[in-house]
Amino acid sequence: MNVYDSWRIAAMLDARGYKSTNDVADADIIILNTCSVREKATNKVFSALGRIRDAKKPSALFGIVGCVAREAGADAFRRMPELNFVLGPQSYHKLPDILENPDARLLNIDLGGLEKFDEMPQPATSPTVCYVPIQEGCNHCCTYCIVPYTRGREISRSFDDVIRDTKYAAKNGAIEICFLGQNVNGYKYTDKNGNEFRLSDLIRQTAKIPEIKRIRFTSSYPTEMTDDLIEMFATEPKLLPFLNMPVQSGSPDVLKRMNRPYSLDGYLEIINKLRVARPDIQISSDFIVGFPGESDSDFEQTLDIARRVRYINSYSFKYSPRPHTAAAIMPNQIPENVKKERLAILDSLLNEIQHEFNNSCVGKTMQCLYEGSDKTGKHLIYRTPYMQQCVVRGTPPDGEKISTIKITAASKASLRGEFAND
């Protein structure tokens, strides 16, 4: 989501004649887009701002946008008086105000809902993989999560607006569409005539756009994985056979305290249905270890679910207490050394499973998306339908963004392949 926000901010400045630079000392405006999901990232923001302040030219404007901006608010100006602007994740479309009035400080951390989408100009070009947000905020209120505070309550964008953005992206170079939302599979929009639209409707409509060859969405909440959406995996070949569906923990007790009230049996049943619909589907997950009160046996159950589902490409984190969340003040907070140890154990299991999956790909052919060349310029980088990176030698067929690649070797982190028709 932050990648998307940064892209739109850059496009907004681009439309006003700004060009990007990698040199802070050369910049006229410097914008730090920030994430506050875990404390570590938040802590880095003010030290990074200090470095920017010392390196930038005196006339350059600088500020923060995103969730740390929303969380810090006016306090950001107290901590860093030289800052020019502080804009939350739903008010970064106000950025041009500071360009018009550079001597005034700009603070806006309102939760404006969908206003930003109406006010921002459409970007001139689209990346090959284009993110399309379909929803803002989240209503789930997991007890560890700061997102409902920083991005507000859940609102779905209108079906027509999303399809308009998708068609625009297709016309301007997009091959793959990734629908975005904190609770993306909970997308629900009712139009003036009372017609209800779900994520499955967006997928079906997007699959009809000839330029779009691959569709995916992130991130999903398990109980919103309804049958209409599962069916899409059977009927829409453009929908990639890969789904991030975070389980977070394998312990029913921990899940209850996380306020994620699904049963593990129900969760596994959804995965079974997905595998029936699309036998080659693979699942990835997010995990949190060391949630308050997590016992050794709770943690064992997390390892157990990872072994049972055999997740690929997962993300795992140490629990990080966040302001405005219920879990931060729960008893039995887990000591840092225990969290660290559990994370290392889980990571090593997840890596082992991922390596095993990568090995199982050797000898197969896959339709892969061209991403660009590597630093040496000798290798081409492709992305498989499972989001693995695949390194290929040779020249890509003229102008073709999607190629059939035969996988020839695998490591823990990536694959090697060759053009299948060579």
Residues that bind ligand SAH (CB under 6 A): 37-38, 138, 144-145, 147, 182, 219, 246, 248, 286, 288, 317, 319-320, 322
Q: How far is the CB of 245 from ligand SAH (least distance, A)?
A: 9
Smaller CB separation from ligand SAH, 184 or 203: 184
Q: How far is the CB of 221 from ligand SAH (least distance, A)?
A: 7
Residue 320 and residue 339: Cα distance in Å, rounded? 10
Smaller CB separation from ligand SAH, 144 or 299: 144
Smaller CB separation from ligand SAH, 290 or 417: 290
Q: How far is the CB of 42 from ligand SAH (least distance, A)?
A: 11
Q: How far is the CB of 133 from ligand SAH (least distance, A)?
A: 13
199-207 vs 159-171: helix crossing angle, rounded to 10: 30
Count how many Cα atoms sit within 13 Å of the Cα of residue 101 in the half-sphere of its side chain.
8
Residue 221 and residue 157: Cα distance in Å, rounded? 18
- Tell me the CA distances in angstroms from 2 to 9, 36, 139, one per residue in order: 10, 11, 19
Smaller CB separation from ligand SAH, 182 or 282: 182
Which among 313, 304, 307, 222 has a CA at the least distance from the CA of 269? 222
Buried (b) or exposed (e) across 223-253, using 16+ Cβ within 10 A? bbbeeebbebbeebebbbbbbbbbbbbbbee
Q: How far is the CB of 173 from ligand SAH (least distance, A)?
A: 27
Q: How far is the CB of 270 from ligand SAH (least distance, A)?
A: 15
Hunting for tokens 């929303």 — which residue is that?
70
One-character DSSP codes across 272-295: HHHHHH-TT-EEE-EEEES-TT--
Residue 410 and residue 412: Cα distance in Å, rounded? 7
Smaller CB separation from ligand SAH, 84 or 320: 320
Smaller CB separation from ligand SAH, 248 or 403: 248
Which among 334, 319, 332, 328 has a CA at the least distance from the CA of 143? 328
Q: How far is the CB of 219 from ligand SAH (least distance, A)?
A: 4
Residue 299 and residue 308: Cα distance in Å, rounded? 14
Smaller CB separation from ligand SAH, 35 or 209: 35
Length of the chain: 422
Residue 150 and residue 162: Cα distance in Å, rounded? 23
Residue 178 and residue 215: Cα distance in Å, rounded? 6
Smaller CB separation from ligand SAH, 182 or 206: 182
Give the nearest residue (CB) to ligand SAH: 286
Q: How far is the CB of 50 from ligand SAH (least distance, A)?
A: 25
